[in-house]
Amino acid sequence: MKTFTTSLLFLASASSVLGHATWQQLWVDGVDQAKTCVREPLSNSPVSDVTSKDIVCNAGTAAVAGICAINAGGEVTVEMHQHNTRDCSEEAIGGAHHGPVIIYMSKVDDATTADGTTGTWFKVAEDGYDAATGKWADDILNANCGKRTFTVPSDIATGDYLIRAEEIALHAAGSSGGAQFYMSCYQVHVQGTGSATPTGVSFPGAYSATDPGILINIYNGVDVYQIPGPDVYVSGGGAAAPAPAPVASSSAAAPVASATAVVPVASSSSAPVATSAPAAVETSAAPVASATSTAIASPIETSVASPVETAAPVTTPVDDEYEDCE
């Protein structure tokens, strides 16, 4: 049995060279915002120290000019890929990097300057492990071309926020410091009529290297997996009841476009699939870039079915910076 487990760990380590990834694009109510408001990591290497400031928005990331406008109660989709490409034939995160997907939000005074260390982060979505199917959250992510859709709480106050999307790879988490954290932060402005300001956790500080969902040997069999962090916040101030793991889809349906979107120019890609809501209808509307860097504007619809991808506001890592390493 020990030899078998050791072999699995060796195979996981060997396959991890193919698996590193970053969260890159954002969608707002089905409209592709590309990389307009993401603080894109400098490489696809993970963070492993939960006490480091890098655990907030990743190593070496900086604020960008763009802010994506989102609606309280609306849908937002975050998108992950291994390289600087949106090729759905490649797994979003590969190499058996099994683990949970977690999404947080934090209200800030100015999304273009906040570093995420002084506010409070409340959890808005999470997926873990489904023992009935043997599926991890990354399996669902890969089936949906790297996309995970969540609903913005309808009662939160208008203002600037940071969104923190995260996948924790547990293939080497059998020893302390072995878990790998892949996260990116997005700069958004929430518009709504609510006044709630949910409390949550701080980064660093939310996680410990010995938390049961972080220090775990997933090759010994997992019956119940404890997702790190607080409970998911739901409108009204309560915590969401545990939801069943989403079912992987072999085909991706397009969501409905919002009439109010954002600042960016969209890039071409397949449309996101919500893991907790029914698939909707594809749209051909694409937002157009604003003349000002931080202004939030309504998009101008075009008849172009496939928008042209534009460069990110920050220096976009080239594939040479996206290492295939352990």
Give the pLDDT confidence of 58-105 residue by residue, as tens digits: 999 999 999 999 999 999 999 999 999 999 999 999 989 999 999 999
Residue 95, sorted as left (phi over 0), alpha (psi -120 to 50) or beta, turns out to be: left
- Cα separations (Å) of 197 from 171, 233, 315? 36, 11, 33
pLDDT at 307: 41
Q: Tell me the two tokens of residue 167.
A: 């996948």
Phi and psi at residue 20, in whole multiples of 5°?
-60, 150
The residues near 130 (Cβ < 8 Å, ≥ 6 apart) are 136, 244, 245
Considering only residues 275 and 229, tell me which one the structure prediction assigns the higher pLDDT. Answer: 229
Q: Count of H helices and E strands in the chain?
A: 3, 12
Beta bridge partners of 159: 190
Q: Tell me: pLDDT of 10 over 70.
A: no
Q: Higher-confidence residue: 323 or 204?
A: 204
37's torsion region: left (phi>0), alpha (psi -120 to 50) or beta? Answer: alpha
Give the integer Cα–Cα distance in Å for 141 and 146: 5
**Tokens, residue 300:** 């101008």
All residues at 6 or more sequence positions from 292 whose CB lies less than 8 Å from its CB, including other chains: none
Find out whether 158 and 134 touch, Cβ atoms under 8 Å: no
Looking at residue 229, its amino acid is: G
Residue-wise pLDDT for 128-181, tens only, equals: 999 999 999 999 999 999 999 999 999 999 999 999 999 999 999 999 999 999
